[in-house]
């Protein structure tokens, strides 16, 4: 009986953890005024007919905190990399010198920072919805267990409280991640 409950909590927490991992991944691709190589994670380059992640085919380094320098391992694909960066719409125009590509991040305006904060809050809200959906699934599974294994009412109530505590824990993690990212975006 408790084995099924342990499994229920194990799977539930695992899914909630995935929602937070996804949120952090999304936050990595959001501009905050500083150069961050993770912004290039979504850039796919057409490399001899196969879409290849940019960071697999070049070295990416940060200069002076505001410039990303992309040095491809194969210099013949410089033009393809430029096209891929423009196509990815990351909001920065690539500058090529024939050896490497530079992406200079201009300082964000106050208005743009506020827009980015709205996006951050929206992503946080989506992650919370994902966590709440997991809570709903866990509660449904608990009700099924109650019927199939004739669990006592007080045990079901205790486990519902436990599910809510787990949900609150992950919601709190999301709130602090959102606050941290907003602080990073608003810091000039």
Domains and CATH numbers, the chain: 2-29+109-186 (1.10.132.20), 37-104 (3.30.1360.40)
Where helices occur in 36-188 by DSSP H, the ranges are 78-87, 110-149, 153-186
Residue 28: Cβ-neighbour burial (10 angstroms; 0-12, 13-18, 19+): middle
What is the per-residue pLDDT for 188? 65
What is the per-residue pLDDT for 49? 83
What is the per-residue pLDDT for 18? 94
What is the per-residue pLDDT for 120? 92
Rounded to whole angstroms, the Cα distance separating 49 from 28 reads: 28
Rounded to whole angstroms, the Cα distance separating 21 from 15 reads: 10
Rounded to whole angstroms, the Cα distance separating 129 from 171 reads: 9
Sign for the CA dihedral angle at 35, 38, 100, 83 comes to: negative
In tens digits, the chain (188 residues) has pLDDT values of 578 888 989 999 999 999 999 998 888 777 666 777 777 878 888 888 888 888 888 888 888 878 889 898 888 888 888 888 888 777 788 888 888 889 888 887 888 888 889 999 999 999 999 999 999 999 999 888 888 888 888 888 999 999 999 999 999 999 999 999 998 888 76
Other C-beta atoms lying within 10 Å of the C-beta of residue 19: 20
Cα–Cα distances (Å) from 123 to 28, 36, 40, 169, 182, in that order, read 12, 19, 19, 18, 12
């Amino acid at each position: 009986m408790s084995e099924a409950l342990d499994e229920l909590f194990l799977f539930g927490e695992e899914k909630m953890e995935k929602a937070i991992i996804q949120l952090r991944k999304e936050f990595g691709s959001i501009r905050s005024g500083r150069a961050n190589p993770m912004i290039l994670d979504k850039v796919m380059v057409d490399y001899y007919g196969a879409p290849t992640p940019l960071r697999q085919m070049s070295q990416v380094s940060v200069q002076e905190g505001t410039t990303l320098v992309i040095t491809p391992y194969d210099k013949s694909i410089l033009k393809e990399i430029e096209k891929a960066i423009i196509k990815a719409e990351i909001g920065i125009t690539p500058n090529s010198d024939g050896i490497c590509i530079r992406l200079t991040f201009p300082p964000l305006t106050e208005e743009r920072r506020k827009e980015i904060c709205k996006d951050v809050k929206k992503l946080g809200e989506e992650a919370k919805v994902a966590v709440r959906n997991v809570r709903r699934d866990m509660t449904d599974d608990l009700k099924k267990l109650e019927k199939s294994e004739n669990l006592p009412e007080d045990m079901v109530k205790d486990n519902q409280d436990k599910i809510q505590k787990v949900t609150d824990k992950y919601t709190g993690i999301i709130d602090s991640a959102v606050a941290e990212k907003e602080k990073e975006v608003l810091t000039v």
